Structure 1
Amino acid sequence: MKPNFFIVGAPKCGTTALAQYLSEHPQVFMADPKEPHFFADDLPGHHKAINQKDYLRLFSHAREQKIVGEASVWYLYSDSALKNIKCFNPQAKLLVMLRNPVELVYSMHSQHLYTRNEHEQDFAEAWFLSEKRRQGKAIISTAQDGHKVLQYDEIARLGEQLERLLKLFPRQQVMWIFFDDFKTKPVETYKQVMQFLAIEDLNRKSFPRINSNKRQKYPWLANFTERPPQWLVWPLQELKRRFNIQQRFNLLKPLRQINDVVENRPALSPEMTQIILQHYRDDILKLAQLTGRNLDHWLYDLEPQEKELIC
């Protein structure tokens, strides 16, 4: 079965929750694992399928579902993924989730710490390492595609990324959702997604929170669960490939649960907030223009003289 729907990003914008909600709809089949990243040639560390045959096997259990999709959060940021999707299925529908870049990059830093992509505990220090990461420096050995995904000063250029997408796909094949709407108006937002996908509205009312912020108590255990040794991974992959098993084994899930601590992130300093907003200011304005959405409230932390220029 060939997928006809892609949630392409951005990371930390609610993609995990939306993919889960859609997977529970009888007219939708969503790939598991959630993020195969097959079309992102420039992010090989994130691939969960090594060739098209393996990739299509992720959808082999789809039957009569109208929508067959997957969600890979770095497709929007990738230099190659959107072009590859266009070549693969030019009629595909694409959904983009958008968020204030300050919230996005700060949340992404926490996620990178959790998945052992990041070693710098202090977000401000990590932000200022972005240039070194572009050069392949200051990257922990367990990082996957660190030279790309650790560029906190680049990953949240959502205006630039959406503009690139809209040059490749017709507007009617693209939908975007703002994280604020998804969080505060989930029923209304989910209805809009169903309309976009042309599937039945089942009047869903319950939208439990998914993918809360977490950290891991024991680094040594996190290294094992997030980067399991090949002697454990390879036999399981071979078993799944040989018998066409699609569901995840989740053998490490109990260990993750033991090691996980759900907690709120501390507030970002006003100084750091202003640095990020000033850096992304022009891109926020571009995103506002592309989406027709007033995003002045994203810029509220800039100094008064800067706000006057924006307005």
Structure 2
Amino acid sequence: MNLPNFLIIGIQKAGTTSIYTYLKRHPQIYMSPVKETDFMSIDWDKEDSGMDKSYNNSKINSFEKYCHLFADVTDEIAIGEASPNYLFHYKSSAEMIERYVPHAKLIAVLRHPVERAYSDYLMNIRDGVHQGKHTKFSDQIKFRADKSFVIRKGFYYEPLKHYFDKFPRDQIKICLYDDLCKDPVKFMQDIYRFIGVDDSFIPDTSKKAQVGKVPKSNLINNLLNTKNPIRKLITSGLVYIFPVEVRQKIRSSLIQINLKDKTDEALSPEDHQELINLYREDILKVQELIQRDLSSWLN
């Protein structure tokens, strides 16, 4: 039975999709064909007790399904998967990792928490996730910072400390997103060394796996990305004209036309400072824990 001997455990919006792609290109590494399996996020046996798991084939919600992801491993030295929510769901994830792959090397990539939160927020806007009350980022900071997943995922100290308490320190590698941006080849070769593969391999890092974009019109974006009467009406008319593949391509094209570069939506200085104040104590504790200078995060 083949199981991962390394995991990318976090965090979202810190380049994990690019890192996953660069790892896949290494000839000595096998990566799960599903990028975010999220299998270790919760105890599926408890969560799905009494349920027929065959009803949801899209989720990796059983150990059998998880093992199947690695059935095609041949002679690769390193076997891995990348599920950035493992850091956020640290209590359940650490327990599951300890149960199934206790000796797997763990890699966490940390990004400036303010930048990470705003990037996450813009992604949710693009995907039509934020609906209803307190959709503005400033409102989330003021009224629901303690409940917003977008903001809470930037508190790294407690999750990291939990992993450090559960696993040997030399089994965990903490990386910084800033280093990935400055020199992606050096960054990846450092990870190659950590997981025990040829670190002279140079991955093609010329293309980013994801380029952040936001909607030009939130109204059009919501019509295209969420279930609503107007979209249902249009779809019901097109169903007799175009096959499903063509309809999906038309919708995807319209979504892309309505997107623009996210740099056009800068975070306001006031919101930036509010978040710096919110994260300050945690940043200082993380700095001490991982022994890296994070003073630039406080500017």
Q: Which runs of 5+ in 1 are unaligned?
A: 135-149, 230-248, 301-311
Instruction: State how far apart, in whole Å, the 2-side matches of 1:5 and 1:95 are.
Output: 8
Instruction: State how far apart, in whole Å, the 2-side matches of 1:255 and 1:66 are.
Output: 41
Q: Give the match for residue 172 of structure 1.
A: 170
Q: Give the match for residue 243 of structure 1.
A: none
Q: Give the match for residue 50 of structure 2.
A: none
1:119-198 correspondence to structure 2 within 5 Å: 119=131, 121-130=135-144, 134=147, 150-198=148-196
Instruction: State how far apart, in whole Å, the 2-side matches of 1:10 and 1:202 are.
Output: 26
**CA deviation after TM superposition for structure 1 residue 32, in Å:** 2.2
In structure 2, relative to structure 1, the CA distance for the partners of 1:42 and 1:268 (3 Å cut) is farther
In structure 2, relative to structure 1, the CA distance for the partners of 1:196 and 1:263 (3 Å cut) is same
Q: Give the match for residue 31 of structure 2.
A: 30
Q: 1:118 aligns with which of 123, 127, 130?
A: 130
Across the aligned residues of Structure 1 and Structure 2, the Cα RMSD in angstroms comes to: 2.6
- Taking structure 1 as the reference length, the TM-score comes to 0.76
Q: 2:87 aligns with which of 76, 79, 83?
A: 76
Instruction: State how far apart, in whole Å, the 2-side matches of 1:69 and 1:168 are.
Output: 20
Q: Which runs of 5+ in 2 are unaligned?
A: 48-55, 233-244
Q: Percent sequence identity over matched residues?
A: 29
**CA deviation after TM superposition for structure 1 residue 288, in Å:** 0.5
Q: Give the match for residue 40 of structure 2.
A: 39
Instruction: State how far apart, in whole Å, the 2-side matches of 1:182 and 1:21 are.
Output: 12
Greater CA radius of gyration, 1 or 2?
Answer: 2
- Taking structure 2 as the reference length, the TM-score comes to 0.79
Instruction: State how far apart, in whole Å, the 1-side matches of 2:253 and 2:34 are.
Output: 18
Q: Give the match for residue 245 of structure 1.
A: none
In structure 2, relative to structure 1, the CA distance for the partners of 1:253 and 1:33 (3 Å cut) is farther
Higher helix share: 2
Instruction: State how far apart, in whole Å, the 1-side matches of 2:10 and 2:62 are.
Output: 22
1:265-304 correspondence to structure 2 within 5 Å: 265=263, 266-300=265-299
Instruction: State how far apart, in whole Å, the 2-side matches of 1:195 and 1:165 are.
Output: 21
Instruction: State how far apart, in whole Å, the 2-side matches of 1:77 and 1:22 are.
Output: 22
Between 1 and 2, higher relative CO (CA 8 Å, sep ≥ 6) is seen in 2
In structure 2, relative to structure 1, the CA distance for the partners of 1:254 and 1:5 (3 Å cut) is farther
Q: Give the match for residue 236 of structure 2.
A: none
**CA deviation after TM superposition for structure 1 residue 183, in Å:** 0.3
Q: Give the match for residue 212 of structure 1.
A: 211
